[in-house]
């Protein structure tokens, strides 16, 4: 088997993580061995592979990992944990409180969308405020989530219209806002037309 480290034995080979990711579930048997090695980077790679490919048995590990990341204020990486938890939907409900904390307090704006996406599949109730707030987010992915899911309250609809009309906004957000407003208008027209069910 070829070595996974550079000739000096201190660092992983360049692009090793990408190569392992390309293997997908085929890397699981090796990853089970890696988690027990002394080299921290290889043990972490093994843990990441298992977290990405094992079934529901990994949920408690991921919930505990997210809780520890919150406890230690580890601001880099919880978005990856959130994405891993999201694939289990409501079965990962134990992570909801920490996902909400990270959404509220992360200093990394680019991670907020991952927390919101995870919340939406794990515990979609009670996200009206979060989706509405996301309409003002500096990150495009978060604004897109807000456009798609914010409740049809006047303030939210006014903001969605502003996003649609903003020449400085990204094309995807403008198109998403236009589509959302058109769907809303069509729905209202259907409800106003006698004999047409909503």
Q: What angle do CA 5, 11, 17 make, to 5 degrees?
A: 75
Does residue 121 have a pLDDT over 80?
yes
The two three-digit tokens of residue 86, written as one number:
């999201």
Whole-number average pLDDT of the chain: 88
The neighbour count for residue 174, using CB atoms within 10 Å, is 17
The two three-digit tokens of residue 117, written as one number:
């996406």
pLDDT of residue 198: 42
Please give the DSSP secondary-structure letter assigned to residue 24: G
pLDDT of residue 117: 96
Q: Which residues contact 107 (CB under 8 A, 6 or more apart)?
A: 75
Query: How far is Cα 41 from Cα 58, in angstroms, rounded to an integer?
Result: 20
Does residue 3 have a pLDDT over 90?
no
pLDDT band of residue 187 (cuts 50, 70, 90) is low
pLDDT of residue 102: 97
pLDDT of residue 29: 85
Mean pLDDT along residues 143-150: 96
Q: Say if pTM beats, i.e. exceeds, 0.85.
A: no
pLDDT of residue 1: 41
Measured over the CA atoms of residue 9, residue 13, residue 17 and residue 20, the dihedral's sign is negative
């Amino acid at each position: 088997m070829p070595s996974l480290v550079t000739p000096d034995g201190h660092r992983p080979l360049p692009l090793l993580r990408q190569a392992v990711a390309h293997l997908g579930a085929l890397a699981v048997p090796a990853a089970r061995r890696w988690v027990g090695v002394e080299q921290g980077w290889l043990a972490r790679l093994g843990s990441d592979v298992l977290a990405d490919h094992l079934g529901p048995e990994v949920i408690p590990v991921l919930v505990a990992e997210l809780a520890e990341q919150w406890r230690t204020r580890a601001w880099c990486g919880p978005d990856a944990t959130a994405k891993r938890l999201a694939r289990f939907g409501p079965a990962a409900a134990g992570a909801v409180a920490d996902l909400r904390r990270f959404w509220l307090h992360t200093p990394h704006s680019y991670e907020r969308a991952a927390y919101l996406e995870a919340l939406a599949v794990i515990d979609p109730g009670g996200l009206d405020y979060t989706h509405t707030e996301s309409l003002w987010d500096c990150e495009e992915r978060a604004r897109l989530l807000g456009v798609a899911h914010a409740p049809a309250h006047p303030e939210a609809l006014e903001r969605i219209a502003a996003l649609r009309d903003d020449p400085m906004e990204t094309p995807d957000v403008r198109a998403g806002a236009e589509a959302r407003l058109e769907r809303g208008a069509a729905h209202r027209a259907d409800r106003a037309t006698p004999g047409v069910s909503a």
